[in-house]
Amino acid sequence: MITRGILVAAILCLPILGCSEPEATQTETPTETPNLAVDQNVASTPSGEEHGEWLLHGLSPGEQRFSPLDQISTSTIDRVGLAFEFNDFVVRGNTHRGAEATPLMDDGVLYFTGPWDVVYAIDARSGKEIWVFDPEVDGARARVTCCDVVNRGLAMQDDTLFVATTDGYLIALSKKSGDVVWKTDTFIERDSPHTITGAPRLAGDVIVIGNGGAEMGVRGYVSAFDLETGALVWRFFTVPGPGPDETVDITLARKTWSENMPWDHGGGGTVWDSMVYDEATDTIYVGVGNGGPWPAWKRGDAEIHDNLYLSSIVALDAETGLARWHYQTTPGDSWDYTATQHMILADIDWNGEPRQVIMQAPKNGFFYVLDRNSGELLSAEPFVPVSWASHVDMETGRPVLTENADYSEQTRLITPGPGGGHNWPPMAFSPLTGLVYIPTLEFSSKFTTVDDGEGYQPKNRNTKALSTIATSKNAELAKGLPPIVQNSHIVGWDPNTGKPKWKSPAQPLGSGGVLATAGKLVFAGSADGFLNVFQADTGKLVRAIDVGTAMIAAPISYELDGTQYIAVQAGAGGVGLRAFVGGSAPLKYVNSERLLVFRLDGTDVPKPPPVEKPAENEIPTGLPTDAETLALGEKKFNRYCVRCHLPRNIPSGYPNLWNMAPATDENFDDIVLNGAYAYAGMAGFGDVLTPEDALAMRAYIVEDRRRVQKGAKPGETEAH
């Protein structure tokens, strides 16, 4: 049913890379007076800033997400209210997906995407719908998405919009009508478990897009297509394959992998989010993801190799797609420490000299400042608690690992967890304060190497590692480590000193993306349903607007008729759809997709309907109860289902199988094996599950429901 409304690496300084040795030391500038002189015009691509528009994903060509608008300021923020709300999103089935896109605004029209890659054009003054384009994405592709069927936004060039779809197509649309101009397949193999959730980026005469799927057994790459025709111009593979090598860059990378690497595992290295283009040098910087499988000691042999270009920032020639330099943030990554997080270009004063830099706060917990022309490491300091490395050696550029980093032989408690110290929600940079505003995560995870004995399985998770968010019950593992925390903060980070200038109070796990403005304000949503507004220089919370819906997307600002607007998408999704954390908005209000737009002297924000406890369905009878069947059912459930459907009534955005409706139970085989609900994202698993497996899973669920009825709690288990 469709409804609407409801290496850190040593820099390899070879001639081909054109990079230089990192400096050994640097002098800090006092935090109170940051010596940052920023040139906003990193490149000359029109961004609409001077006209109050938002034409590029990160507004400025350097993706600084700093709006020069100042009507909404520290002195007027108390007057901000709702201008309008758009909530007529396409919803497949009964599952509301995450709303993660950055809208664009041009000539009075807001353009944005929702779940299932649907594109919307609405009046930026009133919210009235102008047109909608539904690419009719293959719903079964949801099976191989890491983290929900989401889309992070569009690219725009003149009269054309560009959207990438979950099932691998890059589509050019007419801005005026939403009609298709061209459509191209970005996947090298249509049957591969690649997916796309990121926003494409303009880079000179090409449009660039990467993909996801590292855990599913794919080989990562990023592709560039002609803006006018959609024809492939170049493709950069981020890791080697079975061979032969496509480019000299892959030949270089292969030297850093085991000769015994099982290439059917893909290797990973997907470019699933951040990219940024420097027009002055015609360079597109891409952030590369984690390896597949996760542990480096499972990628060929017990020896740890660097495995380029995993967890790296790579500078590519936008005309040829060849590497100019690379910097690996986490050599031999084994912790899902992607470097796909938001990257910012800025021209700053560094130790008294002008410097063109690229800045990133990737998952591994260190904030990096690099010379963007050479890749030279200038600074690498922890911005959250870190236990896997003691520091980054500034002479080699490599992290110095602690004993705690190695979970090859025993379970370890490691900080950050696989969600990272900073995930995909974008940062912002203000030239007024010289600060980078980071939505951080602080939590620890237990890491364990696992082998289920079933070997590699295409289209299924093949991490060879298990990670569990640490709780107080795991405290015995925390001896000698930072305290176990599960917090989220907005941090005002001084890149010149490598230290925070300020840090917001803790929020429920999961801050949203950030917007900084000339009104000396910083905007960021959070999982508890508040749009928080901070004073940019001090971090003082000056306003918390309760909207009743979790926000993980980044806000934007635009101006029309002399009025400044703030727009942000709301709706929990991604990894957060699997379990709603304590204190989060979806525990109180129905989680649905929304676009909220604010202005001075607006109205109060209406809350979504409150969450109502569903009626308890009867527990089916007549299923097997023998230990062997129940053990098989639990094993198969944990292998294929638990990625979305958590047990024992744990609050989640996915259907609760511990309160299965009679119709679902009756049609269980048709749904699970044959994909009867594939259009809504529940693909069939008949290629890896048998009718006997499906029966065993039903039996396990039913038997465990009886245990819950008798008082078993979430997290408790019973051996079979």
Tokens for 147, please give them.
């983290």
Q: Which residue has the tokens 């007529």?
A: 88
Question: Cα separations (Å) of 191 from 167, 168, 315, 459, 648?
Answer: 10, 11, 30, 9, 34
What residue ranges in 518-555 does DSSP mark as E strands?
521-526, 530-535, 541-546
- The pair phi, psi for residue 475, each rounded to 5°, is -60, -30
Burial of 246 (0-12, 13-18, 19+ CB in 10 A): middle
**Cα 288 from Cα 276, distance rounded (Å):** 13
**Cα 628 from Cα 625, distance rounded (Å):** 9
Question: Cα separations (Å) of 262 from 41, 267, 319, 624?
Answer: 45, 8, 32, 39
**Cα 489 from Cα 438, distance rounded (Å):** 8
**How many other C-beta atoms lie within 10 A of the C-beta of residue 677?**
23
**Cα 299 from Cα 257, distance rounded (Å):** 8
Say which residues have a Cβ less than 8 Å from residue 161's Cβ, sequence separation at least 6: 104, 111, 119, 154, 155, 172, 173, 174, 175
**Cα 348 from Cα 28, distance rounded (Å):** 14
Rg (CA), the chain: 24
| Beta-strand pair 486-494/499-503 | antiparallel
| Torsion from C-alpha of 357, 204, 555, 602, nearest 10 degrees | 130
Decide: helix, strand or coil at residue 597. Answer: strand
**Cα 669 from Cα 679, distance rounded (Å):** 16
Q: Which amino acid belongs to residue 71?
A: Q
CA 162 to chain centre: 20
Q: Which residue has the tokens 């390896």?
A: 291
Contact of 435 with 361, CB cutoff 8 Å = no
Tokens for 229, please give them.
């025709």
109-113, strands of its sheet edge to edge: 104-106, 109-113, 119-123, 129-133
Residue 138 is among the residues annotated as catalytic for this protein: no
Measure the N-to-C terminal CA separation of the chain; round to a whole number of Å. 39
CA angle 249, 219, 644 (to 5 degrees): 145
Q: Which amino acid belongs to residue 169?
A: Y
Question: Cα separations (Å) of 183 from 66, 226, 232?
Answer: 32, 11, 12
What residue ranges in 116-200 does DSSP mark as E strands?
119-123, 129-133, 155-157, 160-164, 169-174, 180-185
**Cα 35 from Cα 648, distance rounded (Å):** 54
Q: Which of 249, 336, 347, 665 is catalytic?
A: 336
Contact of 8 with 339, CB cutoff 8 Å = no
| Torsion from C-alpha of 675, 678, 683, 684, nearest 10 degrees | 10
Q: Is the previous residue joined to 285 through a cis bond, with omega within 30 degrees of 0?
A: no
Catalytic residues: 336
